[in-house]
A and B are shown apart, each in its own frame.
Chain A
Amino acid sequence: MIRRATVALAGNPNSGKTTLFNELTGARQHVGNYPGVTVEKKEGTYLYKDFQLHIIDLPGTYSLTAYSLEEVVARDFLVNQKPEVVINIVDASNLERNLYLAVQFLELGIPVCIALNMMDVAQKRGIKIDVEKLSALLGVPVVPTIARTGKGKRDLLDSATRIVRDNEKLVPLTISYGDDVDRAMVDMEKEIEAHAFMNDTYPVRWIALKYMENDEQILSKGREVNPELAARLEDTVKKVSNHLQDTLDTYPEAMIADQRYGYIKSILKQGIVYQKYDQNRLYTSDRIDKVVTNRFLGPLIMLAVIAGLYHFVFTYSEVPVGWLESFFGWLGDGLNRILPDGLLKSLIVSGIIDGVGGVLGFVPLIMFMFFGIAILEDSGYLARVAFMLDRVFRTFGLHGSSVMAFIVSGGIAGGCAVPGVMATRTLKSPRERLATLLTVPFMNCGAKLPIFALLIAAFFAKHEAMIMFMITLGAWAGALLVAKLLRMTVVKGASTPFVMELPPYRMPTFKGLFIHTWERTWQYIRKAATIILSLSIILWAMMTFPGLPQKSLQEFENQRLSILNSVPAAVAHELKIVANRSELSAEARALKDQIKRLDYRKAETALRHSIAGRMGTALETISRWAGFDWRTNIALIGGFAAKEVVVSTLGTAYSLGEVDPEESGSLSDTLAKDPNWTPLMALGLIVFTMFYSPCFVAVICIARESGTWRWGAFAMIFNTVLAFVLAVLILQIGTALGILVK
């Protein structure tokens, strides 16, 4: 008979936990979120002998306190879901520190099986471990493994399933935390026992221990359950704490940690670990670091790596992006021909296909970006980048790891904020991460570049390179300053401690890289299929409805007829039968152009008549401050769907038809000649484009990555207000000073 059992994988970051998880579940894994938080939950199943194992990869943690979200999630899972067995992955080459977490599992009294991982690394470092003795002293099975090659996997599962089968009642480990703490804890345990205080969920001694450790989560739960007893327990802790501070100049939580390490040391001292070399001697990894984090070479190598990543993501993904674009182009053209003219066709071609196509166009970008970042992360280099750049980014309330997200978003002009926002997942500090993902959209993504190109060609043709450089610098300055502002206001809070590990360099495994890349990409596609599709239909509707009234349509039809009637019938007939423009006679060509101009005027009138057009017109009263008329307004509204749309919408609004963003010459001529436009206004529009609301794909990513819609809405409103204020300042101050006016 098949037996089901839940197995939780737990361990320090960099202990090889995820590698083991991938080894066990392969592609049969599912990634979601823990309810209500943005911490990833990975699960999968594995059939082993007569067991169907439901395997959960808990977030990597160093401890089981309640400071970080990852720890709370891991602990809640262990306490509430009560997995049949916990496999604790321990890095054998780093045994002493890794056992700190193992001891906390034992204190909690849950069924643990230790996977002594990275035995190969330990061996290379001259470390020998007496596995049986370690197992005997800890009182739990210990199995040597090498997750990268799958060695020891069967032994590990044998031990784990034996624990499930035996289902023994476990006694939580009791460590002495020093006389003062111990004595107080005995009293507290009696009280907890007598009042049945939360002891249906947690072991009694563990509750007392968490009170001693000042654990926020347990303290607040306790206050809810039994405020009177909770106050008494807190009071006891306070007394011990004061006493310890007076006599030993330490805190109970520090004392407890000391004693845990002491306990580990006392075990390891009994001939468990044999070290051939000094444990702090330098290994290959350290020798690489001597060069890679060197004061002079380090930054140079980092620049090269970042430029390389950027090149890899945006150049090599061009090919598959091109395939997707031509596929959707082909699909749109085909349907354009098959379907009869009308609303349905417009909805399918302009609403659905353009929308979904635009969104799926990001897929290769996201895949390449995650693949590139996974290499940097799995190899250990990303931690070095954070180490080297932390000083700079910390000044603005960010973290050394923020740099990747900024670069991908367009820190070197031409990135994309969608993968940029998703790249913030490598950041483990919540406040720094939020400030990063709210400011990366200020970078100049590839879709903003055609707008800049258009305006520069029209007004600053002589200074193109200089202006582009200023735009890039401006984006960085803006993003960092806004990050600082956010960290001082809405994302307030002390910086998260930087204490982190520089893991030894490792060769990433292909399996790990591919699973990682595929998971992330799939998550994005699933999202694109639902929310983004409906939003693109809404935007299409806004630019389509209401259609022109009958009277106006009749007027355009009359004009069309009068144009056709003004030429000999033969010319009009020629236009109908000859498709190729170059074969037309001069008269017919002139007629065709006349009709085209009429169609463009009709499109302009229809656009102005639509909801979006009315919004643009209504907004003129405000937008005049920055010099924007309804045409610019509607183009910017369209830019919310995707910044690519700005140039083509502006084209329609200027009666030029849909202008190809890559060839906007005619539009830039029109703008340059338009008396309403001044170089100053153009500058204002450039700045507005840099800073205003991210496109809605990015907004959705921000909402999802931050875990709440509020931050998505914040990004739209705050950024637009900021951009508008800047544009107004530029126009008004510039006008007052009389600079850049025609």
Chain B
Amino acid sequence: MRINMRKMEDNQEGTIATIKVAGELGRRIRDMGLVPGTEIRIQGRAPLYDPVALRVRGATLTLRNNEADYIEVEVQ
């Protein structure tokens, strides 16, 4: 099943399916190691539920919810 990253729950795992954004944001997302096929796990969210922290390739990254909106994730 494919869902938007914003909709993922804490500790849920998945594989990035698509990232639909170009320009600076798209490039930054890719530079940090988020490309299609990458496995991720939601580590948690900030006290105000935004940004979100994820576990990628053994490191922890943070994204704002409106940035996570561009990322579709394949989950079980």
Q: Cβ of B27 < 8 Å from any Cβ of A?
A: yes
Q: Cβ of A337 < 8 Å from any Cβ of B?
A: no
Choice from A62, A125, A249, A390 contacting B31 with Cβ under 8 Å:
A62
Size band of the B side of the interface?
Answer: 35 or more
**Residue-wise interface mask of A (237-271) relative to B, using a CB-CB cutoff of 8 A (1 in contact, 0 not):** 00000000000010101100110010000000000
Q: Are B46 and A388 in contact (CB under 8 A)?
A: yes
Instruction: Using known A-B contacts A65-B27, A293-B46, A388-B47, determine if residue A499 contacts B62 with beta carbons closer than 8 Å.
Output: yes
Instruction: Using known A-B contacts A96-B57, A261-B33, determine if residue A251 contacts B26 with beta carbons closer than 8 Å.
Output: yes
Which A276-295 residues have C-beta < 8 A from chain B?
279-280, 286, 289-290, 293-295
Cα–Cα, bound, A295→B45 (Å): 8
- Among residues of B, the one whose C-beta sits closest to the C-beta of A277 is B58
Q: Are A298 and B32 in contact (CB under 8 A)?
A: no
Instruction: Using known A-B contacts A97-B33, A253-B26, A498-B63, determine if residue A391 contacts B57 with beta carbons closer than 8 Å.
Output: no
- Interchain nearest-CB distance for A159 vs B (Å): 26
Q: Cβ of A299 < 8 Å from any Cβ of B?
A: yes
- Interchain nearest-CB distance for A616 vs B (Å): 48
Q: Are A96 and B61 in contact (CB under 8 A)?
A: no
**Residue-wise interface mask of B (31-50) relative to A, using a CB-CB cutoff of 8 A (1 in contact, 0 not):** 11101111101011011111
Which A87-109 residues have C-beta < 8 A from chain B?
93-94, 96-97, 100
Residues of B within 8 A of A391 (CB): 46, 48-51
Which B4-63 residues have C-beta < 8 A from chain A?
18-20, 22, 24-33, 35-39, 41, 43-44, 46-51, 53, 55-63
Cα–Cα, bound, A62→B31 (Å): 6
Instruction: Using known A-B contacts A280-B55, A390-B46, determine if residue A502 contacts B62 with beta carbons closer than 8 Å.
Output: yes
Cα–Cα, bound, A62→B5 (Å): 23
Instruction: Using known A-B contacts A254-B19, A286-B60, A502-B61, determine if residue A67 contacts B35 with beta carbons closer than 8 Å.
Output: no
- Interchain nearest-CB distance for B68 vs A (Å): 10
Q: Is the contact region of chain B dominated by helix, strand, or loop, or is it mixed?
A: mixed
**Residue-wise interface mask of A (491-506) relative to B, using a CB-CB cutoff of 8 A (1 in contact, 0 not):** 0000001111110100
Q: Cβ of A444 < 8 Å from any Cβ of B?
A: no
Residues of A within 8 A of B43 (CB): 286, 289
Instruction: Using known A-B contacts A67-B27, A298-B47, A497-B24, determine if residue A257 contacts B35 with beta carbons closer than 8 Å.
Output: yes
Q: How many A-B residue pairs have CB under 8 A?
A: 121
- Interchain nearest-CB distance for A493 vs B (Å): 11
Q: Cβ of B64 < 8 Å from any Cβ of A?
A: yes
Which A323-342 residues have C-beta < 8 A from chain B?
none
**Residue-wise interface mask of A (286-321) relative to B, using a CB-CB cutoff of 8 A (1 in contact, 0 not):** 100110011110110000000000000000000000
**Residue-wise interface mask of A (638-649) relative to B, using a CB-CB cutoff of 8 A (1 in contact, 0 not):** 000000000000
Residues of A within 8 A of B51 (CB): 387, 390-391, 498
Cα–Cα, bound, A499→B31 (Å): 10
Q: Cβ of B74 < 8 Å from any Cβ of A?
A: no
Residues of A within 8 A of B32 (CB): 62, 97, 499-501
Instruction: Using known A-B contacts A63-B31, A299-B47, A392-B48, determine if residue A254 contacts B61 with beta carbons closer than 8 Å.
Output: no
Q: Are B50 and A100 in contact (CB under 8 A)?
A: no
Cα–Cα, bound, A257→B27 (Å): 9
Which A47-81 residues have C-beta < 8 A from chain B?
62-63, 65, 67
Q: Are A94 and B46 in contact (CB under 8 A)?
A: no
Q: Cβ of A128 < 8 Å from any Cβ of B?
A: no
Q: Are B53 and A254 in contact (CB under 8 A)?
A: no
Q: Cβ of A516 < 8 Å from any Cβ of B?
A: no
- Interchain nearest-CB distance for A393 vs B (Å): 11
Residues of B within 8 A of A65 (CB): 27, 31
Which A121-153 residues have C-beta < 8 A from chain B?
125
Q: Are A94 and B58 in contact (CB under 8 A)?
A: yes
Which one of A289, A294, A501 has the greatest number of beta carbons of chain B within 10 Å?
A: A501
Q: Cβ of B67 < 8 Å from any Cβ of A?
A: yes
Choice from B22, B33, B57, B63 contacting A254 with Cβ under 8 Å:
B22
Residues of A within 8 A of B64 (CB): 390, 394, 497-498
Cα–Cα, bound, A587→B46 (Å): 73
25 contacts between A and B (CB under 8 A): A62-B28, A63-B31, A65-B31, A97-B33, A100-B33, A249-B18, A253-B27, A254-B26, A254-B35, A257-B31, A261-B33, A279-B58, A280-B41, A280-B58, A296-B47, A299-B47, A387-B51, A390-B46, A390-B51, A390-B64, A394-B64, A497-B28, A498-B51, A498-B63, A501-B60
**Top-8 shortest CB links A-B:** A391-B48, A97-B33, A257-B30, A62-B31, A63-B31, A502-B60, A279-B58, A280-B55
Q: Which residues of B contact A (CB under 8 A)?
A: 18-20, 22, 24-33, 35-39, 41, 43-44, 46-51, 53, 55-64, 67
Since A254-B30, A280-B55 are in contact, a sample of 13 more A-B pairs with Cβ atoms closer than 8 Å, ordered by chain A residue number, is A94-B59, A96-B33, A96-B57, A254-B35, A257-B35, A258-B35, A289-B60, A387-B46, A388-B48, A390-B51, A391-B48, A498-B64, A501-B59
